[in-house]
Amino acid sequence: MDRPRFVIDSAEAEQMAKQSGQTVLQLLPSLVKSAQILARPPISKYHVGAVGMGSSGRIFLGVNLEFPGLPLNQTVHAEQFLITNLSLNAEPRLKYLAVSAAPCGHCRQFLQELRGAPDVKLLISSSEDEKENKLNNCCNDKDQEFTPLSHFLSHRFGPDDLLEKDAPLLLESHRNGLSFRSNLCNDKIDGGDDLKHAALEAANMSHAPYSGCPSGVALLDVEGKIYKGSYMESAAYNPSLPPAQAALVAYVASCGGGGYERIVGAVLVEKEDAVIKQEHTSRLLLQCISPKCEFKVFHCTKN
């Protein structure tokens, strides 16, 4: 696998399983190590890999991303990367998840935003040798089977504590009905209208039912490719994934292993009189990872 891949289509997944004499479910933990290699954790050097299977049968990878020079709350966890990857690829449902280490509480909470979260089946995988040597209390028979997420976060605090019964959840379609005010159309940026409109589109798909402040970021690389990311909120607030991070996930998942310095332009679209604002922290993040990146903010309104 020369070029890092973050999605495996269902036919190929079945084939890979067959070739290695495994079921597709057994294949998931065997892919965790190759996911870990793709992680970018320069602060901890602690590589986390997550491998998920969606209802479509496709397999998705997630890895952790750390950003030196910024506070630790800007970090992206492998499970969050995975969910963002599902979102980018319009996968409506996560069914199984294999991870290289026990998901932390922040992630177990973020995962609650999914429909049927308590039933998502989780496996904490480790290599055979590691299983024997492990003194950690994680090592028990349970690790060999998929266990429902409800076991890992009982008595959950989740969307149903705050939202209406029929509110769309994360990965379900959203249209936020946002558009630019006409007098903003003349502001020029490299990548032009495409970048601006990509960010607007990302803002329109953003899941932000708690603050009512959806937002999106679009990034432009040196080759003119555009990567979009939507803000994804958590009922517990703090685990929410900011739009710049979501766009970076799109970049890492699709850019074939390139560095952040290849990102030359970025647009954030958010509501003008929003009760929460992404602008300043997005700017800080982008300045940090790609100092030459041109960053612009455009405000939108609900129709």
Partner 1 sequence: MDRSRFVIDSVEAEQMAKQSGRTLLQLLPSLVKSAQAMARPPISKFHVGAVGLGSSGRIFFGVNLEFPGLPLNQSVHAEQFLITNLFLNGEPRLKYISVSAAPCGHCRQFLQEIRGAPDVKILIASDDDDEKENKTNINCNDKDREFTPLSNFLPNRFGPDDLLPKDAPLLLEPHRNGLSFCSDSRNSNTDDGEDNLKYAALDAANMSYAPYSGCPSGVALVDVEGKIYKGSYMESAAYNPSVQPVQAAIVAYMARGGGGYERIVGAVLVEKAEGVIKQEDAARLILQCISPKCEFKAFQCEKA
* 105 near partner 1, judged by CB under 8 A: yes
Applying CB under 8 A, the span of 10-18, 29-37, 168-176, 238-246 interacting with partner 1 comes to: 238-246
* 238 near partner 1, judged by CB under 8 A: yes
Tokens at 184, concatenated: 């903003």
* 20 near partner 1, judged by CB under 8 A: no
Applying CB under 8 A, the span of 41-49, 88-96, 164-172, 252-260 interacting with partner 1 comes to: 41-49
* 29 near partner 1, judged by CB under 8 A: no
Active site residue 79: yes
What whole-number distance in Å separates Cα of residue 125 and Cα of residue 80? 18
Applying CB under 8 A, the span of 24-32, 49-57, 250-258, 271-279 interacting with partner 1 comes to: 271-279
* 242 near partner 1, judged by CB under 8 A: yes
Q: Quick check: 242 and 282 in contact, CB under 8 A?
A: yes
* 116 near partner 1, judged by CB under 8 A: no
Q: Which of 16, 24, 25, 102 binds partner 1 (CB under 8 A)?
A: 102
Residues in region 141-160 near partner 1 by CB under 8 A: 142, 151-157
In the bound state with partner 1, the residue whose beta carbon lies nearer, of 154 and 186, is 154
Q: Which of 26, 73, 144, 301 binds partner 1 (CB under 8 A)?
A: 73
* 230 near partner 1, judged by CB under 8 A: no
User: Which residues lie near partner 1 (CB under 8 A)?
Assistant: 43-44, 46, 66, 68-73, 75, 77, 101-110, 112, 124, 136-138, 142, 151-157, 161-162, 210-211, 233-240, 242, 275-278, 280-281, 284
Active site residues: 79
